[in-house]
Structure 1
Amino acid sequence: MAYVLGLDLGTSSLKGLLMNEKGESCGTATADYPLLHPASGYSEQDPAEWIRACEIVFETLKAAVPDFTEELQGISFSGQMHSLVVLNDEQEVLRPAILWNDVRTSAQCAKIMATFGDDLLAITQNIALEGFTLPKILWLQENEPEIWQEVRHLLLPKDYLGFWLTGQQHMDYSDAAGTLLLDVAKKEWSTEILNQFAIPATYLPPLIDSQGKTGVIRPALRQRFGFKHEIQVFAGGADNACAAIGAGILEVETGMVSIGTSGVFLSYEDTKIPHYAGQLHLFNHGIKDRYYSMGVTLAAGHSLSWFKETFAKDLSFEELLAGVGNIGPGANGLLFTPYIVGERTPHVDSRVRGSFIGIDTTHTLSHFSRAVLEGITFSLKDSQQLMETIAGKTFDKIISVGGGAKNPEWLQIQADIFGTEILCLEVEEGPGLGAAMLAATGLGWFASLQECSDTFVSYKKGASPIPTNVEKYQKIYETYQKVYAATKDICYELGE
């Protein structure tokens, strides 16, 4: 049976997911690689590690799946967004990649917004933040001019891996949107931005749809790994776009909430671009001529992990949350704001910090645990509310993925706070599934991603909103929204 391979190039590992035409998972492989932290706030990675990891994934699948080399037909990618890879004229890597979670570029972001902020927002639909690629390029120009003098190619991680496989350089629209160099509406590199920041257009690769074919595996690699046929390679997409595709987020009424270390509330957008004025991220989707919007909670699962490690280190997560279902909405007057490392949406504020508010002698560990779950979910509701109020969106269901989908009490809290039916994936494969679906559709196995989704993605019930709880949470949420303004100045003073 024919296979497609989705390669998910994440921050700490490359994951390969092998799928057949029936939408069945036929093999997985993972290879880890290190992060480099040469200075405080710096986060880098050697692109050679991604190649080494890809070699391990190929060899692992070759050993585990007898007909892997004979039946593999296509490969596509999901990739960590924003991270900067620079090559010279000989297409050699000049320095370690500067990753999305590197925060050295605060000065460059301030400069961009002060001199070009309104224009940037109009062209890219986003504001300059440390994670994006453009500030990293400016940092390189200013701090490593000798390296910048040699730069002739700018790529993102998955596109560098695709270049190694095919010898061809491309970038899809969903990843390009995260560089702050793309005119999102026109789907072309912005001449205005490139000229403003002295970036030659020749440094950027051709743009292509996520399902677009970028080439075939180079003959030398085909021979090395023993592939019996020509393997077609497709562009792939940004990790959040691929996660949305892999969760079947292909309709405007369906949202996705993803709770990992950080949290994301994501919504499919049709052909019309909503103007969120930088309050939410807006990017081109992995689906042709479509978009997605998303808000980010910086410390979602991180807040729960921090709470457990600090106050209940000897308990498992299951034990920690065992009593949450016995506590009513609002945790008996206890509120938590998950700003423990600052916040992104709706408050772009790196200096604010989290709070427990309303503590009294009746509160137990279970009250605090429930308050943490509610606070994380309230923070994600901030993004939902922006979508509903600015773009007039309504959600008839939300797909919950990640850590928030693993606990039934938390699923019920999500249903009640979001006021919407919550579904979960029968099998959660992550962004790698979206990448595999892009390859399957690119090969022509399916006429559309929707048709592919009908085969590859299936759901199970998560939780339905309880009307009395929804009403209670609406009032509590209004109180939650007051906490940021009430504590911001105090946090700043304490931080000094």
Structure 2
Amino acid sequence: MLLLGIDLGTSSIKVSVLDSETRRCITSAQYPEIESEIIALQPGWAEQPPEMWWEHVQQAILICNAKKLYDPQDIGAIGVAYQMHGLVVVDKDQNVLRNSIIWCDSRAVEIGNRAFDAIGGEKCLSEMLNSPGNFTASKLAWVKENEPDIYQNIDKVMLPGDFIAMKLTGEITTSISALSEGVFWNFKKDEISGEVMTQYGFEKEVIPEVRDVFSEHGKLKTKIASLLGLSPGILVTYKAGDQPNNALSLNVLKPGEVAATAGTSGVIYGVTDQLTYDKQSRINTFAHVNYTTRQKHLGVLLCINGTGILNRWVKNTFAAGTSYDQMNADAARVKAGSNGMRVIPFGNGAERMLNNKTVGAHIHNLDLNVHKPADIFRAVQEGIAFSFRYGLDIMRKNGMNPTVIRAGKNNMFSSEVFTEAFVNACGVPVELYENDGSVGAAIGAGIGIGEMTLENAFSNVKALRLIEPQIKREYDEIYREWKRLLETHLK
């Protein structure tokens, strides 16, 4: 059987076709080739049109089919991974009512803060394991307060992956994992949070039917199957947020195992079996893909909004027409410390690990007689690595102490400079793997349809290499200076 995996990213859609027997990825496609736009109608806002995602999903699937490396009729199950925390709302006819308010949008921060105080901080943290913050529930509350005409027409509330599954199947479902990432879930009671629903005045009917992550989420509609060259009735058997899915694809499933990624945003994601939370909600706890009411596996997530998006901005601003590989090579010729330049990378909305402050991005110690573009390239990558160290120290204070971190050799981890800075700043070895979110979604589909199990899905996966700290002391000194600069922006 062949498996189709869809990864709905912020920048693009990635699709892969996997052979379930050999675990071999037959082909992949990404669409569009240029990065998708984020609409910012006001500072701190971030939106994307869900129908754009759907168009891009179709194009990516058709590109894969056009390579004629497989028979599309042999695809037997579909899995979907997606950018987390976004809000998609549709009416009773499944028409999208507004652009999606995506993960890095900050408009609902104050609404979430008011809810945190009204419900009670201790209750929020001990039962939902998070502050409502600017997560999906608070974004929906913003729509209710500011766009009442839209709100009254809402039939169902979805995460981005739920929307793609709806377009494929016509069915709308959700999962405990998805509800937890929207802060709709009460972990102590193992049910939808009555406190959040009451506080925000939401009707229970807006929540879709809850199903397991690995289960049937609908059958491919005949019309869509014909459009995409697939067999009607194919099951969508897996849906998960991009970070739980990244952890799945790296075989991070047991308590104590930790994954990292550095794409548009940066994440460290560790698995625990404890109902743990940060008292300031700077890191967040959600239900992992293998969470059940009997075996409570949770993902503790550190998210940094301003990571790869800053690297992209630097490329577009200082190195238009230059490849990332060339930027990385230029940065590698600069010594650690970037000739004194320091970069604070937080320029993509409110940062949860900074108590939801919008700090902005900053370049410090710029010397017009010394610094060249290569210094900026390196300083940006070091600044992003230092932001990971800052967040990891918060995780350590909350009991997450990784001895090794697994990451895919992609995005910023494809840069030797960034990987070296990350390993030495954090003081933790990193195992690099061939890793891809769309392949992870395809594996999830295989588990969901019973073609493989969580126990055997990764039996043949081996690390490409292990990178261990080599010059940690030097990076510690640079990090301390970087941290002092950050703290001037936090006052």
So what's the TM-score if we normalise by structure 1?
A: 0.85
1:301 aligns with 2:304: no
| 2:251 aligned to which of 248, 262, 282 | 248
**SS of residue paired to 1:5:** strand
CA distance in 2, matches of 1:220, 1:152: 23
SS of 1:65 mapped into structure 2 = coil
Q: Which amino acid aligns with 2:25?
A: S
1:81-480 map, 5 Å:
81-116=84-119, 118=121, 119-130=123-134, 132-222=135-225, 225=228, 227-228=230-231, 230-267=233-270, 269-277=271-279, 278-288=281-291, 289-310=296-317, 317-322=324-329, 324-325=331-332, 328-331=335-338, 334-341=341-348, 344=351, 346-357=353-364, 364-365=371-372, 366-426=374-434, 428-429=435-436, 431-448=437-454, 450-455=455-460, 457-461=461-465, 463-466=467-470, 469-480=471-482
Distance 1:9 1:333, change over 3 A: closer
One-letter identity of the residue aligned with 2:172: Q
Counterpart code for 1:446: M
Whole-angstrom distance in 2 between the partners of 1:38 and 1:332: 34
Give me the whole-angstrom Cα distance separating, in 2, the residues matched to 1:165 and 1:313.
37
C-alpha distance in 1, partners of 2:52/2:433? 31
Higher alpha-carbon Rg = 1
Q: 1:186 to 1:476 in 2, by over 3 A?
A: farther
Q: In the superposition, relative to structure 1, how do residues 185 and 471 fare at CA in structure 2: closer, same or farther (>3 Å)?
A: farther
45-54 or 406-415, which deviates more:
45-54
How far off its partner does 1:383 sit?
2.0
Counterpart residue number, 1:24: 24
The whole-number CA distance in structure 1 between the counterparts of 2:228 and 2:360 is 50
Letter in 1 for 2:92: D
Query: In the superposition, relative to structure 1, how do residues 454 and 313 fare at CA in structure 2: closer, same or farther (>3 Å)?
Result: same
Structure-2 change in CA distance of 1:237 and 1:187 (3 Å) = farther
Percent identity reads: 22
Return the letter of the residue paired with 1:381.
Answer: R
Q: What SS does structure 1 have at the residue aligned with 2:456?
A: helix
Distance 1:111-1:276 versus aligned 2 partners, 3 A rule = closer
Q: Which moved more, 1:156-165 or 1:193-202?
A: 156-165
CA distance in 1, matches of 2:446, 2:315: 41
Give, in angstroms, the shift of residue 436 of structure 1. 0.8
CA distance in 1, matches of 2:211, 2:427: 38
Structure 2: which 5+ residue stretches go unaligned?
A: none
1-side partners of 2:139 and 2:459: how far apart? 40
Does the 8 Å contact 2:222/2:232 carry over to 1?
A: no
Report the TM-score when normalising by structure 2: 0.86
More deviation in 80-89 or 377-386?
A: 80-89
Q: Cα–Cα, structure 1 residues 68 and 191, in superposed 2: closer, same or farther, change >3 Å? A: farther
CA distance in 1, matches of 2:36, 2:469: 42
Q: Distance in 2 between matches of 1:324 and 1:61?
A: 35
Structure-2 change in CA distance of 1:90 and 1:451 (3 Å): same
- CA–CA separation in structure 1 for the residues paired with 2:120 and 2:160: 26
> SS in structure 2 opposite 1:465?
coil
Q: Which amino acid aligns with 2:385?
A: T
Give the 3 Å change call, closer, same or farther, for CA 373–135 of structure 1 in structure 2. same
Residues 109-159 of structure 1: per-residue CA shift (max 9 Å, x gap): 3432343351333332222333x2112211221222222222222122221
Q: Secondary structure at the match of 2:89?
A: strand
Secondary structure in 1 matching 2:458: helix
Give the Cα–Cα distance (whole angstroms) in 1 for the partners of residues 99 and 320 of structure 2: 36
Q: CA 1:473/1:117 → structure 2, altered by over 3 Å: closer, same or farther? A: farther
8 Å CA contact 1:35–1:43 kept in 2: the answer is no
Task: Determine whether 1:15 maps to 2:14.
Answer: yes
Q: SS at 1:4's partner residue?
A: strand
Deviations 1:219-272 (A, max 9, x none): 4444565545742221310111112212332344443332223222222x2321
User: For residue 483 of structure 1, what is the aligned residue in structure 2?
Assistant: 485
Q: State how far apart, in whole Å, the 2-side matches of 1:138 and 1:334 are.
A: 42
Residues 453-476 of structure 1 show CA distances to partners (whole Å, capped at 9, x for unaligned) of 234x4421152221xx12333344
Q: CA deviation at 1:37?
A: 3.8
Q: Deviations over 1:422-446 (max 9, x none)?
A: 22223x32x2122111111112222
Q: Is the contact made by 1:258 and 1:401 (CA closer than 8 Å) also made in structure 2?
A: no
